[in-house]
Amino acid sequence: MKTSDKIKDWLDFGFIVMAALPLFLLWGCDGFVDVELPNSQLTADAVFDSRSTANAAMTDIYSQMRESGLITGKLSGTSSLLGNYSDELVSYETGGYSTADFYNNSLVASSPVVSDLWNAAYSQIYATNAVYNKTAVSPLAVADKQQFMGEALFVRALEHFYLVNLFGDIPYIKTNDYRENNVVSRMPVEDVYANVIADLEEAIELLPAAYPTDDRARPDKAVAQALLARVYLYHGDWAEASNMASAVINNDGVYVWEEDLDHIFLRESTTTIWQLASAYDGHNTDETVSFNFPVGPPTNVALSETLLGQFTADDQRRIHWTQAVTDGAETWYHPNKYREREDTGSSLEFSIVLRLAEQYLIRAESRARQGELIGAREDLNKIRNTAGLSDTDAVTQEEFVAAVLQERRLELFTEYGHRFFDLKRTGQLDAVLSGKPGWNSTDVLWPLPQHELQVNPALKPQNAGY
């Protein structure tokens, strides 16, 4: 994970950039974070002597997550890439830096998109480590230190959780010391999960019970619990996943179920658990720009017929959350969860990363897998009824698990790769995606960026198939 001499000094001494400037200028970088220093910066001591500047440093991390990396709403984020990689989206793009290779399942180790995503994720992890480590020894008030340290742990866990599910064995980075990170090796998946869980458990202890801001764009305790519920689900810890999801759902004074499908993806939705704020007031989401097209044919991506065919005629999610576009001869569909493409004066939509419906689905699946079918039915029907569907007809445990996975497919489409990860964790990738041109069993993992293997041989071997 090679760095330039300047960035080595920057990371070593814990320099943090103010919120008005990016922490790391990622695009076009040669190496892990091989960039020039911005003109404006503060030393770690100066940043963490003040709550306002420490807060600005943490805010900038969320800004970077919005603009690049794993959960950006742009075409380079997992909502787009994994939608194409699985069976949710069809790519109409061409060229080396596009979604085409993901749709065609033709990734190579030299892919610039994969490299940029990897670099962005680890750069953001570096930044969170600086916040965590420097805040821990700062003179800030205890409550402030706990908040910033908890937020940093939450983000670090989130980033590593996505990375391990995409790449398999990965480095788990807890320091911003370049000397350690230059020679870091990969950690087994089980050990990565153990670290993710430990980080989230500590974050839950540190984070406040109430949101630090009114827009739910900064995590509180329940946000970390919601992510931990997902982590437990993916890891097969059914009882823990159910209990953690219940801890979130039971915040009924904060999270209020919404029956109107047109309100769920609004900025003020009462079912939002955590969202990324827009770049400025009046701007809305990058998802709208990435996915929605006013005229055909699409220039970026469109919803697949495979996904659209899964909705029954009475499923209101197809009516409210997809939009048809025709040129008179052919019709295409795009996601319509987010709708505001233009500046609206005051932002109406933020990018929602964690929401209440997922927690009900996590609990429904976890209950079903433990044989708690009555509770699973209640949770599943809550999702189905809101979509205008009748109660589930599932009877057996196997039927309930299958029914929950189907509802996840229809409820969470084009939201940060849920479909791909569900197929992966349930062992269905080959059975479902084998009909896609270019699909191979080894596509269960993405390739590690070739340049990273060259500058740090300790990361070898490359994932199978690449």
pLDDT digits (tens, 9 = 90+) for 82-91: 999 999 999 9
Same domain, 307 and 185: no
Number of domains in the chain: 2
Q: Report yes or no on 415 lying in a domain.
A: no
Q: Report yes or no on 231 lying in a domain.
A: no
pLDDT digits over 271-296, tens only?
999 999 999 999 999 999 999 999 99
> What global pTM score does this model have?
0.92
The b-or-e profile of 301-330 (16+ CB within 10 A means b, else e) is bbbbeebeeebeeebebbebbbbebeeeee
Comparison of pLDDT for 95 and 52, the residue scoring more: 52
pLDDT of residue 88: 98
- Full domain range(s) for residue 38: 1-204+427-466
Same domain, 293 and 191: no
> Which residues, 6+ apart, have CB-to-CB distance to 462 below 8 Å?
109, 447, 448, 450, 453
Quick one: average pLDDT of 41-47? 56
pLDDT of residue 356: 98
Q: Report yes or no on 307 lying in a domain.
A: yes
Q: Which of 342, 359, 384 is the last residue of a domain?
A: 342
Same domain, 26 and 136: yes
pLDDT of residue 44: 55
Q: Report yes or no on 418 lying in a domain.
A: no
Whichever domain contains 59, its CATH number is: 1.25.40.390
Q: Report yes or no on 259 lying in a domain.
A: no
pLDDT digits over 425-454, tens only?
999 999 999 999 899 999 999 999 999 999
- On the question of pLDDT at 388 being above 70, the answer is yes
Q: Which of 277, 312, 342 is the last residue of a domain?
A: 342
Q: Report yes or no on 266 lying in a domain.
A: no
Q: Which of 342, 360, 378 is the last residue of a domain?
A: 342
- On the question of pLDDT at 19 being above 50, the answer is no
Max Cα-Cα span within the chain: 66
Same domain, 295 and 198: no
- On the question of pLDDT at 342 being above 70, the answer is yes
In the chain, what percentage of residues exceed pLDDT 70?
A: 90
Q: Report yes or no on 220 lying in a domain.
A: no
Give the residue among 336, 334, 314, 303 at the shortest CA–CA distance from 387: 314
Residue 290 identity: S
Query: Residue 122 in contact with residue 70, Cβ under 8 Å?
Result: no
Give the residue among 78, 422, 457 at the shortest CA–CA distance from 230: 422
Q: Report yes or no on 386 lying in a domain.
A: no
Confidence of residue 93 (pLDDT cuts 50, 70, 90): very high
Query: Residue 160 in contact with residue 191, Cβ under 8 Å?
Result: no
pLDDT of residue 176: 83
Same domain, 299 and 160: no
Token duo for residue 334: 């795009």
Tell me the pLDDT of the chain averaged across its residues.
Answer: 91
